[in-house]
Structure 1
Amino acid sequence: MEITLQYFDGCPNWEVLDQRLAKVLDGRPDVRVVRQRVETAEDAARLRFHGAPTVLIDGVDPFADEHAPVGLACRVFRTPAGLAGSPTLDQLRAVIGGAPMSAATRVESPVGPLPGLPIACALTPSAGKEQVQRWRAFDDEHLFEVERGETRLVVHYARTDDSAQRLRDLVATESECCSFVDWRIDDDHDDLRLVVTGTPDQLAALGVG
């Protein structure tokens, strides 16, 4: 068996999937893993690449959906716990083992504004890189404490003349591209507090905090 992990620079979720594949494939010397970087929109069209990360098992995408767009975008998957940036360990075990997913692992495609599996993030690769750079610059200037919980992340920032507006701008972008978690600014304290809530997998997919 050959597994191909497709990704592009600028979307961090493929590293989460890479780590989960390593756990699932521990003790499976019969499986070969190939990492394939997709660099251009032309490459994405030629490969029918539905976003990062994509996992192919002997050339077949087990999470494919006919409605998913082709292109350089971050891919979001439906899991039993909600939307996340990677399939769960159990979902990967099921598709790699060739067995049908259990009721606890299988997720039906819903009816509504987000049909099918997966869903693509709204940010382009260049916009995604720019957003990461904006976050890093903001953190370097204003971050002073992070509170981590299983389903809640609270990030404390110093309040300055421009930090509140910059944080609002950053959160506005995140709310559009990563709406599978809840983004909220708590403005009722001496400091600024960014509160992000979601499932453990969803928070891990963000790579924040």
Structure 2
Amino acid sequence: MVAAKAQQRYFTPEEYFAWEEHQPEKHELIDGQVYAMTGGTQNHSAIKLNIAGLIKAHLRGSKCRVFNSDLKVNILHTTNYTYPDLSVTCDERDQVHPLYITYPCLIVEVLSPNTEAYDRGKKFERYRRNPNLIDYVLVSSDEMAIDMYHRNDAGDWLILSYRGGDLVELKSIGLRVAIEQVYEDVTFDTAPAEA
């Protein structure tokens, strides 16, 4: 979740790493500018934990690793660094640097009203340049709805939408899961709309 610019100056990656180490909150680095990350809701947190638990259990014993929003993703061939809600890498090259990965096969973002347009637009535009990325998953925190951008074998991006009763298939890691498991213990606001 990205908020406003935290600083007006330009940062190199090295300056950014050193500066952020002393900050109380996380920041993304995009085109030399740092952006503070905002907090989330109970639903946002519960959904992240549900997905992380499902993926972690599925990947146990494999060479793949799942990370939460405490680990940065370096946008391939750039000096940009983001904090997706979840990322998965199966690439040995990602064992080199302790502060970030560069070759995720799966990225998950739990949407909020403030970040949805960015997550669907500019953020995906940056992520999809990485040939290792197979699934980019956008999970609603307001309703049972998941949209996934999936790169097929021809290299084309397909948009798959999942709703209640659907099985969500993450081909990047070979996982099929009922959408209801993603939303376990999540309560949606059911207040009637005002006329």
Which structure is richer in relative contact order (CA contacts within 8 A, separation 6 or more)?
Answer: 1
The structure with the greater share of residues assigned to strand is 2
How does the TM-score come out when normalised to structure 1?
A: 0.27
How does the TM-score come out when normalised to structure 2?
A: 0.29
